[in-house]
Structure 1
Amino acid sequence: MIFETKRLLVRKLKHSDLEGFYELESNPKVLQYATGGPKNFEECKVDLDQLIKRYDDVANDFWIYAVENKQSNNFIGTVALVKDEDGNDEIGYRFIERFWGNGFASELCGGLIHYCKSKGMKKLIGCVVDVNVASAKILERFNFVAIEKFISDDIGLPETKYELIL
């Protein structure tokens, strides 16, 4: 386990997460504001395997973890903690569509902030496509401050970069 909240458990990905990972990564709605498009089953299998192998790489700066519903023990999404191009710790998360609207993203964000503080991180970054108002509201609720507006190179949409000093 990496950390937990009242309803969620964040842990390393496992090969047994493949069905849920595929449901997440094959959905165009989930990925509409993310780099890359929906993936087929085989692509998800390869991606999942690569993400799992990264856990053993001492130079890894791209951590993707599973988010599990503690009540059902089901995989419901992923959370990312990666170094951005400036060496900052950037957070991100996505949930399987059928789990949207349950407050999981807010709960996860709060838990992630607490986890990052406990690891001695000094600052977190979050980038949100401007039309993704729900995600922006979550960051703002946790006192992230907008520091930059830009057009993303990867998806070509206006984005806002948020920062939280821990």
Structure 2
Amino acid sequence: MILQSERLSIRMLNLEDLEQLHKLQSNPNVMKYITNRPKSLEETEKELNKIVTSYDENQIDFLVLAVCLTKSKEFIGTCAVIKNEEKKCEIGYRLQEEHWGYGYGSELTKRLLIYCFEERNIDTVIANVETRNHFSVKIIENNGFELINEEFDEEIGDFVRTYQKDNK
């Protein structure tokens, strides 16, 4: 386990997570605001191999982790802390649809911020959210992020908001 919150355990992904990761990434409702389409098993397997390899290479700027319920150890999603193209630290997450509405997104966001600010000493964290993703917008705003940009993304056909939170 890498991170812990009240109800969630966050750990490295492993190759045995393929089935659950594919369940997550093949759900069109989960992927609607991420890739605008579900991923194939082949795409998921390739992505999982890349993530596991990144652990071996100790790539701290590309950290994608499994999110599990602490009590049952059930895999319920993934989260990420990634240095983006602009060299800014970006957080994100995706959760199995049956686990939406239980406050896990907020709990996860709070824990990722603690990790970034207190454990990694990162000065600024950003999050990108499509405007139609109302629940994630609310989670980001309720966690003290400030809107710094909004632009239309022609590829996905929606506005994408960039939020920022500074380590104060």
TM over 0.5: yes
Q: Which runs of 5 or more structure 2 residues have no equivalent in the other structure? A: none
Secondary structure, counterpart of 1:114 in structure 2? helix
Distance in 2 (CA, whole Å) between partners of 1:153 and 1:64 is: 27
**1:27 aligned to 2:27?**
yes
Runs of 4+ residues deviating >3 angstroms: none
1:155 corresponds in structure 2 to 156
CA contact (8 A) 1:35 1:154 kept: no
1:67 corresponds in structure 2 to 67
2:123 corresponds in structure 1 to 122
**1:91 aligned to 2:91?**
yes
Deviation at 1:47, TM superposition (A): 1.7
Distance in 2 (CA, whole Å) between partners of 1:2 and 1:35 is: 27
- Cα RMSD after superposing both structures: 1.5
Deviates more, 1:30-39 or 1:62-71: 30-39
Distance in 1 (CA, whole Å) between partners of 2:92 and 2:121 is: 19
**1:133 aligned to 2:154?**
no
CA contact (8 A) 1:68 1:77 kept: yes
Tell me which amino acid in the other structure corresponds to 1:84.
N
Deviation at 1:61, TM superposition (A): 2.6
Tell me which amino acid in the other structure corresponds to 2:132.
V
Distance in 2 (CA, whole Å) between partners of 1:125 and 1:154 is: 21
2:48 corresponds in structure 1 to 48
Q: Which runs of 5 or more structure 1 residues have no equivalent in the other structure? A: none
Distance in 2 (CA, whole Å) between partners of 1:125 and 1:33 is: 17
Secondary structure, counterpart of 1:94 in structure 2? strand
What percent of counterpart residues are identical? 37
Distance in 2 (CA, whole Å) between partners of 1:154 and 1:70 is: 37
